A and B are shown apart, each in its own frame.
Chain A
Amino acid sequence: MEWTKKLADHQASPPPSAWNEIEKTLRQDGNSLYHHAVPPPIDSWEAISTKLSLTENTNTSRAFRWLRPALRYAAMIVFIALATTTLINNTWRNALVESIQGPGIKASLTDTPQMLIKDSSKYKIPVKQTAR
């Protein structure tokens, strides 16, 4: 393209005097351009303070910043507990019931009549009769 040729020509040639003048001006008075100050528009402060109050209202109060992660962890724990309970198999459940309430309950929870008979006879508690 035309401009690439022009640019290549420009870069090959030494910088023209105009650029030297710009650089001289940039360095004048301790680089005036760097410290150049311009009065801002009158309505700028109003806009800034409005934006600032909106930002402050949007942000969560610092005092309650801990609440969000705490709620997140609580929700995670509840989810894990529910998932475990749902996926748990019958064996484990039976073992749990047995350990808590004894074999009779376990037998009644299983749907096998044989087990019920067997278990009831096996675990029948003998009643000692005393003569009056």
Chain B
Amino acid sequence: MPSNHLPNEHDLIEGCLLGNPIMQKKLYDQYAPKMFGICLRYAANSEDAKDILQDGFVKIFVNLGKFKGTGSFEGWMRRIFVNTAIEHYRKKNQLYAISESQEENISNQEVSALDALEADDIIRLISELPNGYRTVFNLFAVEGYSHREIATMMNISEGTSKSQYARAKAWLQEKIGNRNQEKS
């Protein structure tokens, strides 16, 4: 009778390194929901998120031998997914493509205090951010990277990272303001 218990992380990694498709599927089942959450935060739409998820998992399986086992496996996977997302938009040359009309939407609008936002609402709002703003916002506000680290990761200056984050905040304020106006 087959056992339904989940193999531990070490067994999963060992199995995947041997190219065992059952272990690969189990590893996917265990981590895909969390990783798809990351993809959705960095992607402009669900199709892009799906592409990033697929590319990220292929990279994970191909480079699994490079995981030294010293740090957290989930943390290692997260970094691969974040880098895949950055690469995805760099390939498309869309990381900093922000049109003038989009820039004009940034305003200094004061908004009233909000009801508690759900994570899904915030993700939806974040996905509407222009690509460059969204990536910097995710890296700084959610993942907790410093502006210096972001500058290195994205090959931009520290000042650019700071200004993109400031603009992302302003953009989100605008969106939340509109959302509140629609509600009232």
Contact = CB atoms under 8 A, between A and B. Distances in A.
B103 interface: yes
Contacts of B176: 18, 21-22
B2 interface: no
B25 A45 contact: yes
A124 B50 CA distance: 91
A37 B36 CA distance: 7
Interface in B132-147: 141-143
A37 B41 CA distance: 11
Interface string A101-120: 00000000000000000000
Chain A: number of interface residues, binned into ranges: 35 or more
Nearest to A2: B104
A132 interface: no
Contacts of A23: 141
Q: Size band of the B side of the interface?
A: 35 or more
Contacts of A52: 24, 58, 61-62
Contacts of A33: 41, 119, 122-123, 142
Chief secondary structure at chain A's binding surface: helix
Contact of B57 (A11, A15, A48): A48
B107 to A, nearest CB: 6
A32 B119 contact: yes
Nearest to A16: B110
B28 interface: yes
A66 interface: no
Interface stretch (B3-11, B89-97, B148-156, B167-175): B167-175
A34 to B, nearest CB: 6
A36 interface: yes
Interface hub of A1, A26, A32, A52 (most chain B Cβ within 10 A): A52
Interface in B12-53: 19, 21, 24-25, 28, 32-37, 40-41, 46, 50, 53
Contacts of A48: 28, 53-54, 57-58
A40 interface: yes
Given A18-B173, A45-B28, A49-B21, A40 B36 contact: yes
Interface of A: 1-3, 6-7, 9-11, 13, 15-19, 21-23, 25-26, 28, 31-41, 44-45, 47-49, 51-52, 55-56
5 contacts: A3-B103, A21-B176, A25-B117, A44-B50, A49-B21
